[in-house]
Structure 1
Amino acid sequence: MKSSRKWMFACLCMLMVVLTACGGGGSQTATGTGTAEAASSNASGSTDTTQNDGDPVKVVWWHAMSGELGTVVDELVKQFNESQDDVQVEAVFQGTYDESLNKLKTAMGSGTGPTMIQTYEIGSRFMIDSGAITPMQQFIDKESYDVSHLEENILGYYTFDDRLYSMPFNTSNPILYYNKDAFQAAGLDPENPPKTYAEIEAAAKALTGNGVTGGSFAIYGWFMEQLLANQGAELLNNSNGREGLADQAQLGAPAAVSTLEWWKKMVDDGVMLNLGRKTDDTKKAFAAGQIAMTLDSTASLRGIVQASEGKFEVGTAALPKPTEADAGKGGVIVGGASLWMLNDRPEEEQQAAWQFIKFLAEPATQAYWHVNTGYFPITKEAYNEELVKENLEKYPQFQTAIDQLHNTELTPATQGAVMGVFPEARQLTETAIEEALTGAASPQDALDRASAEITQKIQEYNSTVAQ
């Protein structure tokens, strides 16, 4: 029986490596790709160490934070290591989320993997199915760790059957960014941004002219997921895959079709530009004043505001809903990544990693992380830290993100969908949006086709998971 399960899981890992390679990096650009030198120098970061009596326990953490984000990670590790003598954490950059996860799949069962790994939210289903992790709930229950100080709407994504499987780390969701000066020039109230699809369309029309187009949304599957959740619609069956494995995608449902039709109409009318799949391109167009509205991550807020300094004032608003009648429905899904504990490491090592994870959740640590990266604090008390208060005074636009998160009611729609082929599903969703916006297919046909392909991939994945 054990050999059969190992064979099944080996097949699962091989399938997932192939599927992830086919899916590519997509629009998952939050972490960047890092440098070839960094990837090469860190590739050997295994945890095969020998502990001597009295020596600190070594914890190896694989992460996907490059550039400035990686610098902040290194600083947090330094602070923790200098705060005590019992545990020494080594942070090892492993490339993008996809690259890091593929390295983990190769290392599983060999004893050469890390103690803990940062994995993007859409990898959650695979991590659970792998059987290679120790749920965070086990550590929480062992010492009655109080999770009430953590954000419920962030914990929600990583909670399955009332068990927290991983600890949230870097968290974001999308908001609407708009050019207040352009609103003023177009006769729109810059303090009353659009709240519905119709209001977005009307504003885009009023804003278009004199070298400015109303807006542009990057063709990003994450945005479609968010727009659906914001109206209480689920992407997958079985309560978004949270009451049993999902085996059907629901992209062809009315909520998705009407959303894409609205988006396409604005593009067809020339009041919304189609700038492709890269959020970097819409950010640049927004900063240059070429477009007056865009969707982007809350983690991009500081960069967007700084890029616009001296040109115009940036306003922020919650994601639009289809109609005013939808005002009380839905909300946003958290994006980003969380920390997973690997169960093939010694118990002492796992416990040491848990000490570090608790340090990362402390208010002061979360305040530093938030201010220096733009990601949400996962700890409520972080908002009471002077560092956060000062940052909010400097970037008051972030209050929109805080309110949007706190106003979200946790439901299967806003907890977020879970499936083992999420990266590929996003790619297929983006292809469908692209086909519709360019006129290659109607929104209904494009989404139906994508939904059927995602369903097939989900079912292929599910067949490799031992029940």
Structure 2
Amino acid sequence: MKRRTRLVSIVLAAVMLLLSACNINMGESKEPAKGTDSGPKTEVGAQKVVFWHAMGGATTKVVDQLVANFNASQDKVQVEAVYQGTYDDLLSKLKASMGTNEGPSVVQMYEIGSRFMIDSKLITPMQEFIDADQWDVSQLEPNISGYYTFENQLYSMPFNSSNPILYYNKDLFKDAGLDPESPPRTFEELKIAADTISKKGKAVGANFAIYGWFMEQLFANQGAEYVNNGNGRDDLATESLVNTEAGVKVLTWWKDLIDSKAANNLGRKTDDSKKAFSAGQVAMILDSTAALKGLVDSADGKFEVGTGFLPKPEGAGEGGVIVGGASLWMMNSRPEAEQKAAWEFIKFLTSPSEQAYWHINTGYFPITTKAYEEESVKENLKKFPQFQTAIDQLHQTKLVKATQGAVMGVFPEARQIVEGAIEEVLNNKKSPQQALDDAAKEITAKIQDYNRTVK
């Protein structure tokens, strides 16, 4: 027995020695040796790219399909998409991964995280790949790419892009004697329409979720900048401008709608606003263009959904909407070969056919102009003609500092502070001017603290 056991041990040792000498790959990907430029591989000849994103719910499946389309289109790069939760969750996880080898090759980041991404010094500007490849930037929607352009450099590639629009119930408009084909374009017109509908007693005239993004958009629509130094684009922003005339006009109008019962207050959640609209309880709401398909589908058989431009005060300066959503950033902590492979994936995503698929299945804008020439997009526009409003609003926006969008390193915190100020006004705790003065002071302090850490 001892002799047999010893023989088995000798044979096993010989087999292990042989496997080691031949360096047989047992199907596990290996980390590259430090200092090499190979990056992780999924299989021989295929470069692995890890893509972190925050597209939850049904949109996760659309992202997964885009990745599957790319992986099937070639055999040199394999992309792995990893859902990381909300935008805020994703940002927290990205921060935790910095300085380690556990981070992504490319990451989706919401637009208000742009200043942080640049200041982190951990990204490779997309412009470097564009220049090396002589890739034509003019194929992108200029009012979308404009947000992510700093000092004439495109730092990240737009991905999911949206604007806010006015959604309204055409049936309630008819019932109130209002023209269902003429949505209000100004604060004053919206107040009249909301008053008229509310007095009929069937529904409340309007509801706007307490969402900081709406305040940012209503500033831009008046041609007003949100922070100093050219909206933080000429130099680092050092001061919040949320307490200027544009902000006071917005909150004064909003509070008047509530006080006169032309509108109601359902809090911060946009989902609650959408549910009330879909149930026919409110006649007008503000929401993202990405919500269009869901709102039209939920109203099917109950009422007809209309869409209009974001309203502005009468006599307001020339303005427009800011692109919302997120973009794709290249992490410079990854090897060069991996970054180049990720660039191939990013280029694939911008192709008209993939942008058409993305737009139709999510409601986000195509970022590539030629996507509108795809038959599938044309058919979808026939099915959802309300989206033409979003296209027209985007194209009629003149790209200036106000509409290009503000940038500051503490934007997520600033948005929360503004939402708190709106609540204080609507709940009769402070006047519009006082609430915004306090908010501006707090945001400015946070901006300046952030700037000191950057410098």
Calculate the TM-score normalised by the size of structure 1.
0.88
Query: 1:221-300 to 2 correspondence within 5 Å?
Result: 221-300=212-291
CA contact (8 A) 1:46 1:113 kept: no
Q: What are structure 1's unaligned runs of at least 5 residues? A: 1-44
Amino-acid identity (%): 64
Whichever residue aligns with residue 175 of structure 2, its letter is: A
Alpha carbons 2:40, 2:48 under 8 Å: kept: no
State the SS of the aligned residue for 1:270. Answer: coil
Measured on the aligned residues, the alpha-carbon RMSD in Å equals 1.4
- The one-letter amino acid of 1:182's match is L
CA distance in 1, matches of 2:136, 2:74: 22
Query: Structure 1 residue 411 and structure 2 residue 412: aligned?
Result: no
Counterpart contact for 1:47–1:60, Cα < 8 Å: no
**Partner-residue secondary structure (3-state), 1:376:** coil
Shift of 1:210: 2.1
From the superposition, tell whether residues 52 and 404 of structure 1 become closer, same or farther in structure 2 (CA, over 3 Å). Answer: closer
Partner residue in 2 for 1:432: 421
What amino acid is the match of 1:317? Answer: G
Give deviations 1:282-320, integer Å, cap 9, x for gaps.
101111111100100000000011111111100000001
Alignment-derived partner of residue 41 in structure 1: none
Cα distance in 2, alignment partners of residues 412 and 457 from structure 1: 22
* Cα distance between partner residues in 2 of 1:66 and 1:352: 25
Q: Is the contact made by 1:331 and 1:414 (CA closer than 8 Å) also made in structure 2? A: yes
By how many angstroms is 1:321 displaced?
A: 1.4
Distance in 1 (alpha carbons) for counterparts of 2:120 and 2:430: 38
Once the two structures are TM-superposed, the CA of residue 66 in structure 1 deviates from its matched residue by 1.3
Of 135, 147, 150, which residue of structure 2 is paired with 1:157? Answer: 147
Number of residue pairs matched by the alignment: 420
Give the conservation status (yes or no) of the 8 Å contact 2:207–2:284.
Answer: yes
Distance 1:293 1:46, change over 3 A: farther
Aligned partners of 1:174, 1:100: CA distance in 2, in Å?
A: 23
> Which shifted more, 91-100 or 392-401?
91-100
User: Map of 1:161-172 to 2, 5 A cutoff?
Assistant: 161-172=151-162
| 1:67 and 2:48 matched | no
- CA distance in 2 between counterparts of 1:414 and 1:339 reads 20
Distance 2:396 2:274 in 1: 26
After TM superposition, give the deviation of residue 460 of structure 1 in Å.
0.6
Q: What amino acid does structure 1 have at the position aligned with 2:191?
A: E
Alpha-carbon contact 1:46-1:60 (below 8 Å) kept: no
- TM-score, normalising length: structure 2: 0.91
Contact 2:71/2:78 (8 A) holds in 1: yes
CA contact (8 A) 1:46 1:112 kept: no
Whether the 8 Å CA contact 1:132–1:342 is kept in 2: the answer is: yes
For residues 426 and 53 of structure 1, do their structure 2 counterparts lie closer, same or farther at Cα, with a shift above 3 Å needed? closer
Residue 204 (structure 1) aligned to one of 170, 189, 194: 194
Indicate whether 1:81 and 2:44 are aligned: no
4+ long deviations beyond 3 Å: 45-54
Distance 1:320 1:50 in 2: 50
Q: Which residue of 1 aligns with 2:384?
A: 395
Partner residue in 1 for 2:452: 463
Aligned partner of 2:102: which letter? T
Aligned residue in 2 for 1:450? 439
Q: What secondary structure is seen at the aligned counterpart in 1 of 2:81?
A: strand
Partner of 1:292: helix, strand, or coil? strand
Task: State the Cα deviation string for residues 27-86 of structure 1 (Å, max 9, x = none).
Answer: xxxxxxxxxxxxxxxxxx998764499521110001111121110000000010000011
Contact 1:177 1:315 in 2 (8 A): yes
What are the ranges of 5 or more consecutive residues in structure 2 without an aligned counterpart? 1-28, 33-38
1-structure distance, mates of 2:102, 2:333: 9
Per the TM alignment, residue 97 of structure 1 is displaced from its structure 2 partner at its CA by 1.0
Q: How far apart are the structure 2 equivalents of 1:379 and 1:206? A: 41
